[in-house]
């Protein structure tokens, strides 16, 4: 089975698809993941909101879907860390890695909707505390992976004593950082970054956020290019070219396959994009036809263009 590599911007771009977490969409979700696997996509993505009763648990969904597929990797986009304590999260992702042959990416976030998060019992954290807990969690997940001597960790938020690491290697870590402190943490520690609110490479959010990651990476002695940017990307795939694939505000709304290929190739070659996860317009789930065009027409053309640069 293929193993999801630690992504960097030196490698070919990866392509994925966002799928539904809604219980009412369960069979459609599994069917879409199977199609994405068969058609050669790199990853599928589910959201993590365990306080929503009508939604499937993200990691249960990932694990079940990985067991029914052969090549594709699973990504929780992004893990709701306050509701998934780091020591147990480490056990979950290393177990999924062993069971799937390494087909797992660890998406990490500091936690956003605290009014909902605290319904499950964790103590509300300040923004600064949440970022420090986020940094500790990434460090601890890695310490508890890859085998070796028992780990004792005395942090501000997490403590383990003499805990044996799992033999599986830690998966790549992609974050959903938004604020300056969490962006800096991404620069110091992460393998990849997923810009929030489906911001793309032309957005103010990306243009002001990515330099904070790069500065923190350089200060930590890392090459900023080793932190991949993987975009959640929304839009319609149309039968014919559109006159304006971006709206008046400059946001991508979609176009023909050729227009998508041109746009994404430019993102890779000119803006250093390392990958894309497709969502339908408005952040919804693509249908089977759109997914087929994405996987079998757009992704191969962009990969080829990137390989020939």
CA 238 from centroid of its chain's CA atoms: 26
102-132, pLDDT tens digit by residue? 999 999 999 889 999 999 999 999 999 999 9
CA distance 104 to 79: 13
67-89, pLDDT tens digit by residue? 999 999 999 999 999 999 999 99
Q: What is the pLDDT of residue 234?
A: 96
At residue 99, φ and ψ (nearest 5 deg) are -70, -30
Helices 299-307 and 257-271 cross at an angle (nearest 10°) of: 40
Q: What is the pLDDT of residue 6?
A: 45
What does pLDDT average to over the chain?
Answer: 95
CB 288 within 8 A of CB 295: no
pLDDT at 240 exceeding the cut of 80: yes
Could you give the 3-state DSSP secondary structure of residue 74? strand
| Helical ranges in the chain per DSSP H | 26-38, 58-67, 86-100, 114-117, 127-143, 180-189, 204-219, 257-271, 288-293, 299-307
Could you give the 3-state DSSP secondary structure of residue 197? helix
Dig out the tokens for 89 from the structure: 């999260």
7-57, pLDDT tens digit by residue? 444 589 999 999 999 999 999 999 999 999 999 999 999 999 999 999 999
Q: What is the pLDDT of residue 309?
A: 75
> What pTM value is reported for the model?
0.94
């Amino acid at each position: 089975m293929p193993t999801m590599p630690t992504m960097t911007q030196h490698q070919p771009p990866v392509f994925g698809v966002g799928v539904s977490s809604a219980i009412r969409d369960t069979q459609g979700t599994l069917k879409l993941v199977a199609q994405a696997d068969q058609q050669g996509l790199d990853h599928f993505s589910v959201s993590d909101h365990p306080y929503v009763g009508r939604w499937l648990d993200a990691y249960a969904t990932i694990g079940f879907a990985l067991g029914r597929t052969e090549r594709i990797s699973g990504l929780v986009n992004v893990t709701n860390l306050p509701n998934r304590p780091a020591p147990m999260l480490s056990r979950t992702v290393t177990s999924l890695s062993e069971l799937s042959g390494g087909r797992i990416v660890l998406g990490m976030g500091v936690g956003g909707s605290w009014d909902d998060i605290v319904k499950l019992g964790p103590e509300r954290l300040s923004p600064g505390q949440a970022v420090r807990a986020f940094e500790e969690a990434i460090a601890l997940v890695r310490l508890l992976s890859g085998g070796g001597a028992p780990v004792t960790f005395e942090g501000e938020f997490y403590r383990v004593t003499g805990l044996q690491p799992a033999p599986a290697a830690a998966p790549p870590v992609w974050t959903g950082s938004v604020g300056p402190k969490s962006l800096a943490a991404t620069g110091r520690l992460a393998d990849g970054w997923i810009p929030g609110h489906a911001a793309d490479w032309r957005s103010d959010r990306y243009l002001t956020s990515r330099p904070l990651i790069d500065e923190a990476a350089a200060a930590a002695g890392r090459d900023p290019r080793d932190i991949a940017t993987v975009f959640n990307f929304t839009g319609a795939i149309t039968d014919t070219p559109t006159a304006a694939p971006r709206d008046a505000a400059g946001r991508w709304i979609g176009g023909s396959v050729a227009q998508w290929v041109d746009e994404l190739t430019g993102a890779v070659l000119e803006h250093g994009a390392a990958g894309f996860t497709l969502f339908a317009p408005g952040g919804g789930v693509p249908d089977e036809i759109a997914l087929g065009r994405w996987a079998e027409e757009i992704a191969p053309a962009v990969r080829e263009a990137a390989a020939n640069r």
